[in-house]
Amino acid sequence: MPSNVTVMLVDDNSMVLEMLRSALSPFATIVTATDGADAFIKIVESPPDLLITDYTIPGLDGRQLVDKIKMRAQTAKIPVILLAGKNDLTEKLKMLQDSVEDFIEKPFYVREATKQIKKVIDKITLEKMAREAPGDSVVRGSLQQMNIMDLFQSLEMGHKTCSLTLTRDGEKCLMYFNDGQINHATYGPLTGDDAVYKTMAWTDGTFAINFTENSQQQTCTRSTQGLLMEGLRLLDEANRDAEENVLEG
């Protein structure tokens, strides 16, 4: 189910444009353009939440397009992902690092590019949810809407300081983030890393993010990414053991 995020894709290669549009459509509303001038007009008329543009497009090239939208107050804050070849990235585009959210090197695998872009879409989704939250500053949702991995990566990329409460069938895990890193977690008698790992298999349940809460306790020993990677490893190991037990039975 697409989020309430609108993404503009700009590329003069119709095959690349269609592959990315198809891959990203489940996560956002997609608008397309095949040249920089058309893209700029569409952006001014209806600013998207995210711009993904190739560097070597006709009319205005990617860099000129980025410069133009950054000069306008109404569009200056639109995050940008720039698609470019290795030579352009290393030689011409270093100076854009502060004004671009991310770079994707061409040629790319669509699956890997989609993962990279989805992280940014999830971050934007969470920020929009926070802005649209009621006055209590709490964002609520379901894990079917945004799964645990997406939540962790969005809070990390956004450098958020907050509490995250996960609940499912009477179970509850409370985590605290400081500048995007999980510093403290509790799950029943468990604390720290072990508390985080207990939630990694959850595919349903609810979440609540409170941007006014934080904790100074430090019970987690790994970074947010480290906790994700180790939690997924443990989950994969548990699944393999379960499969082996079924085969032995």
* Fold (CATH) for 6-128: Rossmann fold (3.40.50)
Residue 1 pLDDT > 60? no
* pLDDT in the model for residue 10: 95
pLDDT band at 146 (very low <50, low <70, confident <90, very high): confident
Give the residue from 165, 237, 166, 235 showing the smallest Cα distance to 201: 235
Residue 93 pLDDT > 70? no
Cα–Cα separations (whole angstroms), residue 134 to 159, 214, 225: 21, 19, 30
Alpha-helical (H) ranges within 4-94 are: 14-24, 36-45, 62-71, 86-91
Bridge partner list, 82: 53, 103
| In contact, 80 and 53? CB cutoff 8 Å | yes
Distance from chain centroid for Cα 197: 20
* pLDDT in the model for residue 130: 78
CA 166 – CA 187 distance, rounded (Å): 10
Mean pLDDT within 45-69: 90
* pLDDT in the model for residue 74: 93
* pLDDT in the model for residue 242: 61
Q: What is the pTM of this model?
A: 0.77
Strand, coil or helix: 33: strand
Residue 241 pLDDT > 90? no
Alpha-helical (H) ranges within 25-158 are: 36-45, 62-71, 86-91, 110-131, 148-157
Cα–Cα separations (whole angstroms), residue 3 to 6, 49, 109, 120, 125: 8, 11, 23, 12, 7
pLDDT band at 134 (very low <50, low <70, confident <90, very high): low
Place of tokens 């007009």: 41
With pLDDT > 90 as the criterion, what percentage of the chain qualifies?
Answer: 60
CATH 3.40.50.2300 domain residues, the chain: 6-128
* pLDDT in the model for residue 129: 80
pLDDT band at 86 (very low <50, low <70, confident <90, very high): confident
pLDDT, tens digit, 9 for 90 and up, residues 178-201 = 999 999 999 999 999 999 999 998
